[in-house]
Structure 1
């Protein structure tokens, strides 16, 4: 194995401690029924997200749909080919944010669930609805999401990043010989 890459001008890997508590995932996915039989349609969040942007607001990041228990702030919402992708930051200076972070890191909780008001939906023949437009109020971290694919996919942790950085430094030192 060659060690050329160790002396190259390739970009450095850096882990920023201020990324701690950043979470991302899918709050809803297209075309899959939830436990109520509702099926989300791509574009159903677009008007609501635009209204939030125009008003300078954003949907809340709550624990289990409890408006008295915010745990962080959502920083981005994107409707992509899979669903409504979200990224936010847990408030680690608050007990609820630290607790949520600990549960996420342990794998005890990883569900996401949307709190919304229906604007437009069509009843489906076998029950449930085809949800075409909603007013998005909040996205909660939950133990059991209504839609099985609505999950946190990434949790950034300073300790995980520090551990990986230490491992990479050790590997580089060993490769140098």
Structure 2
């Protein structure tokens, strides 16, 4: 099984302060309508269109809206230098955040606090990016998914622990 990068591009309802000017949040399912229209969303390295990692149309990027937020599964090409870089830097924990490029379609503004607040209830999604620091910070995530190798590694650790205790 090839290594994949997965996580949440953002979490519903989590606030981010944008340029110190306003607080922004996404309502649950804000991208659902746009995703249902089969958009060709791309996965990029740091919002750089010259550094693509995958896209929906080639099957290397999968997106879904769940109860937590906008979940993604990205399978960068391990034979490509950029794919190797993405897998290595996410795998070693250097890059752990995600950012999104979008256009709001429906938004609600309130001005009842220290700064204005924007709730985006519908938006068009163009790309997600692996980034060092994203606007939504730790409300996003990127980590390596190695389901089959993780199972094997866990089994080896358990067996080794059992051997040390004389169980095996």
TM-score bracket for the superposition, by shorter chain length: 0.7 to 0.9
CA distance in 2, matches of 1:48, 1:129: 19
Q: How far is the alpha carbon of 1:114 from its aligned partner?
A: 0.8
Query: When the two structures are superposed, what TM-score results if normalisation uses the length of structure 2?
Result: 0.79
Q: How far is the alpha carbon of 1:159 from its aligned partner?
A: 6.8
Q: How far is the alpha carbon of 1:168 from its aligned partner?
A: 4.2
Contact 1:21–1:91 (CA under 8 A) maintained in structure 2: no
Contact 2:5–2:87 (CA under 8 A) maintained in structure 1: no
RMSD of aligned Cα (Å): 2.3
Contact 1:72–1:97 (CA under 8 A) maintained in structure 2: no
Aligned residues: 154
CA change 1:161–1:67 in 2 (3 A) is farther
Query: When the two structures are superposed, what TM-score results if normalisation uses the length of structure 1?
Result: 0.76
Q: Structure 2: which 5+ residue stretches go unaligned?
A: none
Q: Which residue of 1 aligns with 2:62?
A: 76
Helix, strand or coil: the match of 1:44? coil
CA distance in 1, matches of 2:160, 2:40: 43
Q: What are the within-5 Å matches in structure 2 for residues 15-164 of structure 1?
A: 18=1, 20-36=2-18, 37-52=23-38, 57-73=39-55, 74-125=60-111, 126-148=115-137, 149-152=139-142, 154-157=143-146, 163-164=153-154
Q: Would you tell me which structure has more strand in proportion to its own residues?
A: 2
CA distance in 1, matches of 2:110, 2:97: 26
CA distance in 1, matches of 2:150, 2:11: 28
